[in-house]
Amino acid sequence: MRILLITQYFWPEEFRINELASRLAERGHQITVLTGLPNYPSGKFFAGYGFGRRTSEKYKGVDVVRVPLAPRGKGGGMRLSLNYASFAVMASLLGPIRCRCTCDAIFVYEPSPITVGIPAIVMKAWTSAPVMFWVQDLWPESLSATGMVRSAFILNAVKKLVKFIYAHCDCILVQSKSFIDAIASTGVDRSKIKYFPNSAEGIFDTVTDCGASLDPSYFPDGFRVMFAGNIGAAQDFETILKAAELLKEHQSIHWIIVGDGRKFPWVSEQVQIRSLCKTVHLLGRHPLESMPAFYSRADVMLVTLKKDPIFALTIPGKVQSYLACSRPIIAALDGEGARVVEEAGAGWTGPAEDYAVLAKNVLKAYHTSADDRGQMALRGRHYFEKNFESSTLLDRLEGWLYELAGRISQ
């Protein structure tokens, strides 16, 4: 098939869509990616990229077409709005010119913003190809839940935009079953909505210890609770820090934070203010390829989300990575994400924003034997293979794409 994949984020930015695109290309599909200039999460263009530079390139058999956009900067509301809007406008204007090849289907990856659907609708008008839209974040609910937007007028306008975009999609995929009701409530026929969860990149199939390739100072002796990923408002670092405060007298329990994001400066400052420097260690952002090595040094992995109805519907993508890597999990979140960890028997769960329960669960994990934690990790891996294995999911996606393209062409 000839597939036009539209995503605001793509390699060298680290998103799961990178591997999905390359694996579709490996299966013989002709993939063209329409995306922006890479600037996530630093807010600055990656080295070698900029206006008029590297606007077309290849990535693992995939043709990549880039359009200019305003970088996200420090992630403030105005800069993010400009970032989102600029990609939607430039991809809509330049997409028909730069992506002239015919296509059988348009696939949209939407981890936020929803505005990525606008150029998809424009390209649908030009090519007559059906649109398959993969929802990672629900809008406008995510905007209000993170506090990014509080204006009722703006939220209502976004809600109308969401309904418009969904109405022009031929198939909508959801990363969580709990998204189905929310999307159907916008007027979408339920027969158009399909459950398609995230998997994990292939590098997470096993954890590997890279030995000397990782700085030994990253890993203090003791019990290591590791958080890996975006450090943003949704991840609720206030709860993590409060739990760390409760346990800071336990000098052998260490909180290892690997990642970057909008809240990183605040977290770094709070570690100093709360006198947590001996037990909370901020390692910054590291390449995706090194994550299995980091995971291998952890005793348990940590996943958190703020307490909000919208986040209770979400399965954080890191859950699949943790399961795939055979790591036991401590989860401080509600709803779908907690259900997966509990159903897998892969660790300990507690309510979102309950720092006291989080601290108790860390102590439980600390006092659990390595053998018992290993059994939890194995149960998690088996659950991953049954529910999130990438080849099985890719087979399913291919079938839906062929079905959609065939139905539209009839």
HSE (CB half, 13 Å, CA atoms) of 272?
5
2-199+389-409 and 203-387 in the same fold: yes
30 pLDDT higher than 60: yes
Tell me if 311 sits within 8 A of 338, measured CB to CB. Answer: no
Percent of residues, the chain, with pLDDT higher than 90:
84
> Can you tell me the mean pLDDT for 89-118?
94
**Bridge partners for 161 per DSSP:** none
Confidence of residue 211 (pLDDT cuts 50, 70, 90): very low
Pairing status of strand 62-67 against strand 105-110: unpaired
> Can you tell me the mean pLDDT for 170-195?
96
Per-residue model confidence (pLDDT) at position 212:
46
Per-residue model confidence (pLDDT) at position 409:
52
The CATH label, of 3.40.50.2000, 2.40.50.90, 3.10.20.600, 3.30.420.40, for the domain at 203-387 is 3.40.50.2000
Q: How far apart are CA 145 and CA 234, in angstroms?
A: 8
**pTM listed for this prediction:** 0.87
Q: Which CATH architecture has domain 2-199+389-409?
A: 3-Layer(aba) Sandwich (3.40)
> Can you tell me the mean pLDDT for 248-252?
95
- Count of CB atoms situated within 10 Å of the CB of 45: 18
> Can you tell me the mean pLDDT for 10-34?
96
Per-residue model confidence (pLDDT) at position 1:
94
Q: How far apart are CA 53 and CA 46, in angstroms?
A: 11
Give how far the C-alpha of residue 275 lies from the chain's centroid of Cα atoms, to the nearest Å.
31
Confidence of residue 208 (pLDDT cuts 50, 70, 90): low
Per-residue model confidence (pLDDT) at position 331:
98
Q: How far apart are CA 137 and CA 314, in angstroms?
A: 8
HSE (CB half, 13 Å, CA atoms) of 275?
5
Residue spans per domain, the chain: 2-199+389-409, 203-387
Q: Which of 53-62, 274-283, 288-297, 339-348 has the lowest mean pLDDT?
A: 288-297
Tell me if 353 sits within 8 A of 239, measured CB to CB. Answer: yes
Give the closest residue to 136 by CA, choosing from 111, 118, 109.
111
